[in-house]
Amino acid sequence: AQSVAQPEDQVNVAEGNPLTVKCTYSVSGNPYLFWYVQYPNRGLQFLLKYITGDNLVKGSYGFEAEFNKSQTSFHLKKPSALVSDSALYFCAVRDSGAGSYQLTFGKGTKLSVIP
Amino acid sequence: EAQVTQNPRYLITVTGKKLTVTCSQNMNHEYMSWYRQDPGLGLRQIYYSMNVEVTDKGDVPEGYKVSRKEKRNFPLILESPSPNQTSLYFCASSWVPRGQGGGNEQFFGPGTRLTVL
């Protein structure tokens, strides 16, 4: 079975500081990994994905994520946080060897960027 | 504009009164899915569909039905809603990847907030 863990319910960071939102996963095959963002009263928006290749993936709004196979992690990062980055962030995984197309989401991490 | 639409956006109903939440996408996606979002539980998949007339259960299918008679539409049906189905519901769609290209991201609708009294 595939699973995702986001160990922090909330992350607070000062505007202009770097931010990290953590994600670890468990799959039996190779992982396809995704980050989504949810702004208040909105649906989820795709940020970035890792399928194969370079471990550092760049996405929308200046976000990037680093795939680490040995630590089974896919942490989301941004060098300089903006107040407008405040939102709920979800990590998701799909097991490439599972034979289904089911995405499993983490429980979400609320990011608050303090002015 | 490429989008996933859901209706209604907000719904308050009573226990046992059948309801349908519609979902439509204009991107010709094969794959469609329903999720529910609850505080502290994240998103959990209810049902999904790989193509017309092909549906399958997700993690929490009890109390829900779906149908996929047309490629663009994927309605969620609650035959006899109960208060534990009070939640925020999202529909999503994507292409079905071919071969090793398994990483197609999903596009989400704006959500339907359902309250069952």
Per-residue model confidence as pLDDT tens digits over A41-90: 888 999 999 988 899 999 999 999 999 999 999 999 999 999 999 999 99
CB contact (8 A) between residue A49 and residue B110: no
Name which of B25, B36, B43 to mutate to probe chain A: the one with the most chain A Cβ atoms within 10 A of its Cβ. Answer: B43
A9 near B41, Cβ under 8 Å?
no
Is residue B48 pLDDT above 60, yes or no? yes
Tokens of A50: 């890792």
Strand A109-114 to A10-14 pairing:
parallel
Instruction: Give the Cα separation of B42 and B85 in Å (integer).
Output: 15
Rounded to 5 degrees, what are φ and ψ at B63? 90, 0
Interface check for B39 against chain A (CB to CB < 8 A): the answer is no
Give the 3-state secondary structure of residue A62: helix
With an 8 Å Cβ cutoff, the interface of chain A facing chain B consists of 32, 34, 36, 41-46, 49-52, 90, 94, 96, 100-108
Res A11 pLDDT > 70? yes
Interchain CB distance below 8 Å, A102 and B58: yes
- The token duo for A88 is 């709920």
Q: Which residue of B has its CA nearest to A5?
A: B42
